[in-house]
Structure 1
Amino acid sequence: MGMLRRPEAWVFVILLGSYAFFWHARDWNSASRLMLTYSIVDRGTVLLDGLDQQTGDIAKFHGRYYSDKLPGYSLLATLPYALAKTGLGLPPHPRNVAGLAYWPADYWTTLGTSGLFSALSGVLLTILARDLGCGPRRSLLVGLSYGLATPAYAYATMSHGHQATAFALLASFALLWREGQGRPALRAFFAGVLAAYAAVIELQVGPVSAILGFYLLALVLARKRKPARLGEFAVGASLPTLLLLGYNVLAFGSPWDMGYFHHATDAFQKVHSAENPLGLRGFAGAHVIPLLWGGYRGLFFYAPILIFAIPGWIVLANRREWGMAVVSAATALAIFLVNLSYPEWTGGWSTGPRLLVPLFPFAMLPVAATLAAGGVLTTWIAVGLALAGGVLMLLFQGIGAHVPQFIADPLLDVVLPLWSGADLPPWWVSGRFARNLVGLLMPGRLAQLPERWQGLQFAPLVVAQILAILGASRLTRRPPTLKGPADPRPGSNLGVDQE
């Protein structure tokens, strides 16, 4: 019964169970990472020869094919893929075949990587919300809002790198911010590992890795951490860096070379190069409003709960939680500015502002501060915002979560028409609705429903989510007050680390 009273346990089960419901078709971005995972496990090589028809998001070097992505996600995914392959007897991925929209290993690999790390991010946010003064139910609201009421929901069910990156950055910050919990040397080491590994998954979050390093430096200068922590953080950060350099040598013959320099697709060659690996240009101010609001790529449209981040930063500043306030705000700003500087700022076929996804957990931290400082009305408004975001995300998840960038209003022009039974647009590449557990377990009954009623296949998921959330709200309780270095009261983690 002890675990049933912990909100973070409920958050993990509800989120992972919700992600397990969906099996989305591949896109190029996912396939590029998955093919590297399959090649490593099936054949023990980083070469993608024979798998190059699966994606146009690929690199070609000296006549051989490689993933154009950094290897961080693909390496993480080797473990769940190897486990699924061994446990379920899955065959190796076929070579020299036309692109596959679905392959059984995709489901298990994605769930064991993107799904797992998304659920763990929800757990971390639930714990941090409690540290900031939220009770069990408000902490539950924070974790579930992140995982079900923002586009994190969509990317938890796809093999993009965003969700693994978000977890690595958030976990690194949590280890630094909560260092008073004990074993400070080990925590600083793993904080460095996670901060650097995030950039091995997605190079564009390198500025956030640096922010975390400067945060630790600030703690040391303020005499809240011992100077030794910097060395331990640096040693940890060196390991993923060496891993990336070693992969680059193995694939491209030089530690400073990478797949971004050798795109096989002309459209990507025009953006990325050896001189500008990320393809960044000057800030495009005209994209600020579309990235913040509106049905195209608006942050607050697709994740309305994040509106509470704005007063939350004020709350953190008033409480002098400067570390939490500055790191969360600086992280959100850095990721936002990188998105503004990227020519393909729309994120291509996506749900919402895809390239902003790694900032979501850091924006949820001030949301937790708002809930901790507010009263009952604040909580109910947050519940309303979360419900709005949750319904919107379910609508997008239901149709496969991939809407192309040339659609001006994805919700009105594509999502709602598909749910209502309208004819499929000529460019649509998969079924009307995403593959899911109900459709796979009861295909005959589902086929008997008129098209406009086939959305009912998602009703069991919604019912299960509602029942689980009600159960969590009823069974969770405020834990007993702890004393000493593990005291979870706001600000208690800012003391000098304990040896």
Structure 2
Amino acid sequence: MLSQKTIKISSYILIVLIIGLVLFYTRFEAISWNDRSRFATINALVTNHNFIIEHVYFTTGDKVFINGHFYSDKPPLFSVLAAVPFFFLHLVGFNFSHNPALLTYITAVLVMFLPLCGFFWLLYYWCKHNLKKLEDKFLLLDVLFLAAGTALLPFTTQLNNHLPTAILLGVAVLIFYYRPVWRSSSLVLMGACLGLATTFDLSAGFVLALFGLLLLVNLYKEDFGLNKKIKSIFIFGAVALIPIFIHCLVNIQITGDVWPGSMHPEFFNYPSSQFTDANLTGAGFAVSSFWDWLKYLWLLTFGERGFFLHNPVILLGFILTIINLKKVVNKNWWYNLFVLISTIVIILYYSLFGKGGGGGAYSVRWFIVFIPLFFPIILQWLEDGVWRRKLLYFLAIITLIINIFAMGNILGGANHGKTYSFINMLRAFPGYTVEQVKNWSIVIGK
């Protein structure tokens, strides 16, 4: 097996590689409509003190028209929090009109990469103090391979809501797994993370509901009185509802009800709009028959855009959750059931209502949110057997190579900032023209 010196050198190489990839490939400009829509809201909040995105530096097609004004169609609370770094930079004289590249880059690093680093530090810290069977000399390397070996890494390079949602869900499950669930501090932190995650990405609401059931089961098994159990559930639920309540209040100010603009097809009805019920996620079914659904499901999971194809480490975690359900019913068993159902529910929802395969984003952006749920399961699995660690490292290295292609985007600016499927990008090597490559985006239904 690897010597202590080799492990240490490998860890340093991975740390430098991860930081280098992120800092080198983080975008200096917001190119995609998704990206520009969020930056437009950040710009409007700090400079104009409202959500109207008409008189700002960024233009975008991801917008809704309400009462004579344009607004971003994204859930607003994430943009509010992402505006904090720009607010302080704006105070000292920076603005998007004069420093667009610098501010876009700094915002992405502060809002995407630094929180992800914090999450993996927490993962390392909690595992070090709770997974006693894991050898200390391997633990840092194990966590680094999880950091480099999933699609979380490419999503650090530009502003998006999926990565922060994944981080918040990851923190919540770490607290559940490695701290007594009945402690008030644990309940507050779990509720805050899950509630805030739901405001960032509405699909996290499924996870919040299922996590509430998981918490109920675990509190039921605790050896203390009914009043304390009721109090614990109340604390968790009340804290989770605070960010959701704020989210609803902000939405009411913009759309007139609790739903963000993306959930209102009628607000996309303006002359230059590129969106209709046919291509809006959530506005009706994405498929027209059971056979079409099976083909679309395959595309999203194992096909050309396949999430598990691009994340073999998470495929391993998914298989482990199923295997673990054959074991003794305990806290771990219930957690595995929670992860399995959460994953299946999110995949089913987007395979039925998510249109366009997630657009031009790398792999399937909708599924990024549940990646951290598998980390405790994978790390516990490593406690027994040297071959398990070898398998994890092998799969992580494969994924890291895929991630380098995704982050490096070998097509350069030819695809207008979009990273299509890794498989599509490989096709550039045999000598296809740039115009051919640009037309390789996935079009559902063809």
Instruction: Tell me the TM-score normalised to structure 1 length.
Output: 0.72
Cα deviation, residue 298, structure 1: 1.7
Question: Counterparts of 1:428-447 in structure 2 under 5 Å?
Answer: 428=438
Q: Are 1:368 and 2:379 an aligned pair?
A: yes
Q: Provide the residue aligned with 1:393 in structure 2.
A: 403
SS at match of 1:235: helix
Q: Provide the residue aligned with 2:191 in structure 1.
A: 192
Q: Quickly say closer, same or farther: Cα 1:300–1:253, change in 2 above 3 A.
A: closer
SS at match of 1:150: coil
Equivalent position to 1:230, from 228, 233, 237 = 233
Write the distance in 1 (CA, Å) between the matches of 2:135 and 2:172. 24
Q: Provide the residue aligned with 1:81 in structure 2.
A: 86
Write the distance in 2 (CA, Å) between the matches of 1:243 and 1:341. 29
Query: 1:365-409, CA deviations, whole angstroms, 9 ceiling, x for partnerless residues?
Result: 322232223x222211211111111011101211179997xx998
SS at match of 1:351: coil
SS at match of 1:21: helix
Check conservation: 2:357, 2:364, Cα contact below 8 A: yes
Query: Gapped runs of 5+ residues in structure 2?
Result: 1-7, 440-446
Q: Are 1:169 and 2:176 an aligned pair?
A: no
Cα deviation, residue 303, structure 1: 1.1
Q: Provide the residue aligned with 1:217 in structure 2.
A: 216
Which one scores higher on RCO, CA 8 angstroms, separation ≥ 6? 1
Q: Provide the residue aligned with 2:48 in structure 1.
A: 43
Q: Quickly say closer, same or farther: Cα 1:83–1:286, change in 2 above 3 A.
A: same
Check conservation: 1:193, 1:237, Cα contact below 8 A: yes
Moved more, 394-403 or 297-306: 394-403
Check conservation: 2:76, 2:260, Cα contact below 8 A: no
Q: Provide the residue aligned with 2:370 in structure 1.
A: 359
Write the distance in 2 (CA, Å) between the matches of 1:280 and 1:127. 43
Equivalent position to 2:392, from 382, 398, 406 = 382
Identity in percent: 19
Check conservation: 2:325, 2:337, Cα contact below 8 A: no
Write the distance in 2 (CA, Å) between the matches of 1:29 and 1:203. 16
Write the distance in 1 (CA, Å) between the matches of 2:242 and 2:13. 34
SS at match of 2:65: strand
Q: Quickly say closer, same or farther: Cα 1:170–1:417, change in 2 above 3 A.
A: same
Cα deviation, residue 344, structure 1: 1.4
Q: Provide the residue aligned with 1:144 in structure 2.
A: 144
Check conservation: 1:200, 1:244, Cα contact below 8 A: yes
SS at match of 1:147: helix
Check conservation: 1:8, 1:126, Cα contact below 8 A: no
Equivalent position to 1:109, from 107, 118, 138 = 107
SS at match of 1:203: coil
Q: Quickly say closer, same or farther: Cα 1:34–1:280, change in 2 above 3 A.
A: farther
Check conservation: 2:57, 2:97, Cα contact below 8 A: no
Equivalent position to 1:299, from 293, 296, 307 = 307
Query: 1:27-84, CA deviations, whole angstroms, 9 ceiling, x for partnerless residues?
Result: 1111111211121112211111124962111111011011101013212211222244
Moved more, 229-238 or 305-314: 305-314
Query: 1:314-357, CA deviations, whole angstroms, 9 ceiling, x for partnerless residues?
Result: 24753641233122222222221122122415111121122111
Query: 1:392-442, CA deviations, whole angstroms, 9 ceiling, x for partnerless residues?
Result: 1101211179997xx998435434626x8865336759xxxxxxxxxxxxx
**Paired residue total:** 410
Write the distance in 2 (CA, Å) between the matches of 1:343 and 1:281. 6
Check conservation: 2:161, 2:200, Cα contact below 8 A: yes
Q: Quickly say closer, same or farther: Cα 1:189–1:57, change in 2 above 3 A.
A: same
Question: Counterparts of 1:268-283 in structure 2 under 5 Å?
Answer: 268-271=275-278, 279=284
Q: Quickly say closer, same or farther: Cα 1:44–1:33, change in 2 above 3 A.
A: same
Give, as a single letter, the amino acid of the residue that structure 2 aligns with 1:238: L
Check conservation: 1:69, 1:260, Cα contact below 8 A: no
Cα deviation, residue 158, structure 1: 1.6
SS at match of 2:159: coil
Write the distance in 2 (CA, Å) between the matches of 1:61 and 1:362. 37
Write the distance in 2 (CA, Å) between the matches of 1:286 and 1:421. 29
Write the distance in 1 (CA, Å) between the matches of 2:302 and 2:396. 17
Write the distance in 1 (CA, Å) between the matches of 2:296 and 2:220. 38
Give, as a single letter, the amino acid of the residue that structure 2 aligns with 1:388: I
Instruction: Tell me the TM-score normalised to structure 2 length.
Output: 0.80
SS at match of 1:69: coil
Q: Quickly say closer, same or farther: Cα 1:251–1:16, change in 2 above 3 A.
A: farther
